[in-house]
């Protein structure tokens, strides 16, 4: 899920476009969004590229571009390149943020296929209030960054949509929970002990069980691929023990003691093994 995690950073964009944006129709907002995407890909946009991507006639594109230029949202001359003004870029980024957030929610939470999710997002993006959109973003962040690694009921919702909800499915979930508790008890009986990352010694390997602490810490660790299920090796501990060096796959990272204390692990080897 986290691959998606980069675009939710669009929350940093100004959430309230200028009053001029209220004058734009949904169609004109789509033009700005398309221009933004073409500029990101090709540095500039051309009328024929807009026509192709939006699947509209060139005459319609020309009319829309003239209107957007008159409103001060794009730089446009006939047969020339098209770029966004600052105000046009702000609106285009806000439309793109709305579209991306809705599409991601439909795919990840509602288990809708990508093509239908894209179509639905395109239809809804022009009308959704900012406060509701922000709550969508927060929920997706919660699903992505939960230190338990995933939200089981979100996954099971996809099962519900595919198979319906006969009563025995509730018992299926109950049985899965019982089985997981039994496995946890078995691990405990077999000597598996959950520790803090700071308990490791140089050379020891471990598997991450969970991440505690604030969202910003979870985001930083996940970018390092330090997430539930990942295997890590402790490389070095600073002389004053305030920092440690770890290896994740072929990469190495430095964590403070406070950060490492929030990483719950299960040791799987001793130094030299």
* 175-227 tens-digit pLDDT: 555 555 555 555 555 556 788 898 898 999 988 888 887 777 877 887 787 87
What is this structure's pTM? 0.50
Long-range contacts of 48-57 (CB under 8 A, 24+ apart): 50/82, 54/30
Q: CA angle 198-199-202, nearest 5°? A: 85
Neighbouring residues of 10: CB distance < 8 A, sequence distance ≥ 6: 93, 96, 97, 100, 101
* 149-170 tens-digit pLDDT: 445 556 566 666 666 655 555 6
81 φ/ψ angles, rounded to the nearest 5 degrees: -75, 155
Question: Per-residue confidence of the chain (273 residues) as pLDDT tens digits?
Answer: 333 344 334 333 343 444 344 568 888 999 999 999 999 888 889 999 999 999 999 999 999 999 999 999 999 998 889 999 999 999 999 888 888 888 888 887 787 888 999 999 888 888 888 788 788 877 877 766 654 444 555 656 666 666 665 555 565 565 555 555 555 555 555 556 788 898 898 999 988 888 887 777 877 887 787 877 788 999 999 888 889 999 987 788 999 998 898 888 887 765 544
Superfamily per CATH, domain 194-267: Ferrous iron transport protein A (FeoA) (2.30.30.90)
Burial of residue 101, with CB atoms counted within 10 A of its CB: 0-12 exposed, 13-18 middle, 19 or more buried: buried
Helix axes 130-145, 215-223, angle to 10 degrees: 60
User: Tokens for 50?
Assistant: 């807009």
Where are the CATH 1.10.10.10 domain residues in the chain?
2-145
- 154: enclosing H helix or E strand: helix 152-163
Topology given in CATH for the domain delimited by 2-145: Arc Repressor Mutant, subunit A (1.10.10)
User: Tokens for 4?
Assistant: 């998606």
Predicted confidence at residue 164, as pLDDT, reads: 64
């Amino acid at each position: 899920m986290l691959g998606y995690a980069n675009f939710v950073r669009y929350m940093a964009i100004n959430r309230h476009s200028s009053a001029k944006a209220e004058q734009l129709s949904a169609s004109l907002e789509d033009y700005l969004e398309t221009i933004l995407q073409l500029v990101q890909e090709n540095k500039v946009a051309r009328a024929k590229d807009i026509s192709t991507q939006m699947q509209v006639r060139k005459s319609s594109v020309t009319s829309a571009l003239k209107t957007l230029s008159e409103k001060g949202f794009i730089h446009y001359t006939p047969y020339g390149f098209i770029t966004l003004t600052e105000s046009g870029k702000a609106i285009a980024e806000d439309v793109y943020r709305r579209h991306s957030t809705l599409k991601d929610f439909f795919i990840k939470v509602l288990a809708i296929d990508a093509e239908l999710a894209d179509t639905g997002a395109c239809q809804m993006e022009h009308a959704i209030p900012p406060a509701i959109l922000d709550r969508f973003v927060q929920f997706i962040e919660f699903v992505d960054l939960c230190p338990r690694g995933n939200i089981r009921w979100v996954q099971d919702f996809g099962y519900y949509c595919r198979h319906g909800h006969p009563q025995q499915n509730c018992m299926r979930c109950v049985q899965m929970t019982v089985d997981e508790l039994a496995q946890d008890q078995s691990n405990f009986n077999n000597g598996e002990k959950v520790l803090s990352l700071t308990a490791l010694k140089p050379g020891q390997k471990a598997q991450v069980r969970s991440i505690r602490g604030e969202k910003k810490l979870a985001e930083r660790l996940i970018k390092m691929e330090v997430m539930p299920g990942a295997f890590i090796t402790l490389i070095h501990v600073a002389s004053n023990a305030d920092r440690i060096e770890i290896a994740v796959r072929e990469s190495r990272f430095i964590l403070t003691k406070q950060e490492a204390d929030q990483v719950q692990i299960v040791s799987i080897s001793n130094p030299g093994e």
